[in-house]
A = this chain, B = another copy of it.
């Protein structure tokens, strides 16, 4: 785990507030905080919850080290010295954490995480939890949207490390791109941190440009895949070059491809746009690919990093099919086209419209920085203290918090698809299959529907139970599965990227919760209006 994730990764005001609570002997009051967002990212209608494994790891290790305490003393010189003893003594053994399983589709105002425990400790967890959930959920959602936009059967690779917001921005993006449905990353550290993450890469333009002529190949020999005498690979390639009348291609580029093929005969993927994609790069690739095939190796394909990627992909494959047929060498026609360069969700959709012949997509900047919306905006609000439910008012009804100790249910219809989500007070009876239940829109209490669920799922799971992990931490692949499963449960009308057709998925509250909310609201409004 990142060594910056300690209790000091927090806002100063958490420590000053905790001090005041402690000083006033309120630090052990038991409270509940909900972590939620108010608006789905990317102008969409869904979000995917992620970041849970880091949250649990952080909570498990939540403890101020002596060095950290020493530092805090220097920045809080006026605090009672006993406060630092108190800070030294705390951990998260008094805390319970309920959360959605990582990868679950979630919607505005739903508690993604519910933290309950002593006031001061819960307060001290706030900023770090937000930092860990906000960006992870944002990237996962972005990756999942791109996965959907790319269409079925594509191989998606995350390429954004150099443009990410710091090293951890990069590693978080790599991990949660996988959770969102990507298949691999170029980021080696991401694979090192979790070896279930596949790491991919071949070569850059600089590699191609570093070769000027075939003389730079100092070791031209390559042993056939199934053994036998090494063959002069350069000569083999040059034979194909003459046979196919490709002698006009760039020789430095050809040398680079040959050098790379000799290094990785079973991993040959050539970047073909350094000089001229169609008149040089692709032809050099073909000559090398056929030579590899002749020696029993399987070439992978090519990468395009500039130009009109969709039409180039078609032109490139057209040439492969032509040569493949001409020489009766079927393997060539099966090679893959990879593309990269400023790919966005919109570009992915356009590729589909244009029937681009693209197999592998390398996506960087727009995935990792979430350019269309670089922050999710989760918040963390107190909803109960000492068994008294709390509400936070706002002139905007969507910003009023939903008070109290709640449970969150997903109700399903006969089709198996989810009908809506329902928040209930913890002591209400759970919704019963086949029994009608009233569901009220918390954004507009006049909007009420009666629903008879065919199946009911409680969404919150107890992950951290006062000092112990109550569930295994999710692996990247499990979370990726949860995303796919969760997407399949929610109707396409809610998850489609096609804005005009999109409907808003219903998040509702039960009648008792509505009554509580109304009651507190009226009471607080009186206070607020100073009556």
A316 CA to B132 CA in the complex, in Å?
36
B166 pairs with A20, CB closer than 8 A = no
A10 pairs with B161, CB closer than 8 A = yes
A126 CA to B162 CA in the complex, in Å?
9
Instruction: Out of B123, B189, B370, name the residue touching A4 (CB < 8 Å).
Output: B189
A26 pairs with B263, CB closer than 8 A = no
Instruction: Out of B15, B74, B201, B528, name the residue touching A16 (CB < 8 Å).
Output: B201
A376 CA to B165 CA in the complex, in Å?
10
Instruction: Out of B78, B127, B192, name the residue touching A267 (CB < 8 Å).
Output: B78
A24 and B216 in contact, given A161-B131, A374-B369 (Cβ under 8 angstroms) = yes
B4 pairs with A167, CB closer than 8 A = yes
A10 and B210 in contact, given A166-B135, A168-B168 (Cβ under 8 angstroms) = no
A9 CA to B390 CA in the complex, in Å?
45
A203 interface residue per 8 A CB criterion: yes
B-side contacts of A24, CB under 8 Å: 216-219, 259, 262-263
A186 pairs with B11, CB closer than 8 A = yes
B-side contacts of A130, CB under 8 Å: 162-163
From residue A140, how far is it (CB to closest CB) to chain B in Å?
13
From residue A128, how far is it (CB to closest CB) to chain B in Å?
8
Instruction: Out of B26, B72, B134, B204, name the residue touching A216 (CB < 8 Å).
Output: B26
From residue A443, how far is it (CB to closest CB) to chain B in Å?
20
A4, A135, A203, A249: residue with the most chain B Cβ atoms closer than 10 Å: A4
Instruction: Out of B15, B75, B275, name the residue touching A528 (CB < 8 Å).
Output: B275
A298 interface residue per 8 A CB criterion: no
A162 pairs with B131, CB closer than 8 A = yes
A202 interface residue per 8 A CB criterion: yes
A134 and B162 in contact, given A3-B2, A17-B207, A195-B74 (Cβ under 8 angstroms) = yes
Residues 329-363 of A at the B interface (beta carbon under 8 Å): none
From residue A205, how far is it (CB to closest CB) to chain B in Å?
7
B-side contacts of A377, CB under 8 Å: 163, 365
A257 CA to B159 CA in the complex, in Å?
49
From residue A95, how far is it (CB to closest CB) to chain B in Å?
16
B-side contacts of A191, CB under 8 Å: 71, 75
A39 interface residue per 8 A CB criterion: no
A192 pairs with B390, CB closer than 8 A = no
Q: Which of A102-110, A169-177, A415-423, A449-457 contacts B (4 or more CB under 8 A)?
A: A169-177
From residue A119, how far is it (CB to closest CB) to chain B in Å?
7
Range, interface on chain A: 35 or more
Residues 250-276 of A at the B interface (beta carbon under 8 Å): 250, 252, 259-260, 262-267, 275-276
Instruction: Out of B9, B119, B169, name the residue touching A135 (CB < 8 Å).
Output: B169
A276 CA to B528 CA in the complex, in Å?
7
A2 pairs with B192, CB closer than 8 A = no
A318 interface residue per 8 A CB criterion: no
B-side contacts of A425, CB under 8 Å: none
B13 pairs with A264, CB closer than 8 A = no
A9 pairs with B202, CB closer than 8 A = no
Instruction: Out of B2, B8, B135, B206, name the residue touching A123 (CB < 8 Å).
Output: B206
B530 pairs with A170, CB closer than 8 A = no
B-side contacts of A71, CB under 8 Å: 191-192, 195
Instruction: Out of B3, B16, B167, B186, name the residue touching A263 (CB < 8 Å).
Output: B16
A369 pairs with B375, CB closer than 8 A = yes
B-side contacts of A3, CB under 8 Å: 2-3
Instruction: Report which A residues bind B (CB closer than 8 A).
Output: 2-6, 8-17, 19-21, 23-26, 68, 71-72, 74-75, 78-79, 119, 123, 126-128, 130-132, 134-135, 159, 161-173, 186-189, 191-193, 195, 199-207, 209-210, 216-219, 248-250, 252, 259-260, 262-267, 275-276, 279-280, 365, 368-371, 374-378, 381-382, 385, 390, 392, 527-528, 530
Top-10 shortest CB links A-B: A12-B201, A168-B168, A13-B201, A369-B374, A165-B165, A130-B162, A165-B169, A166-B168, A20-B263, A169-B169
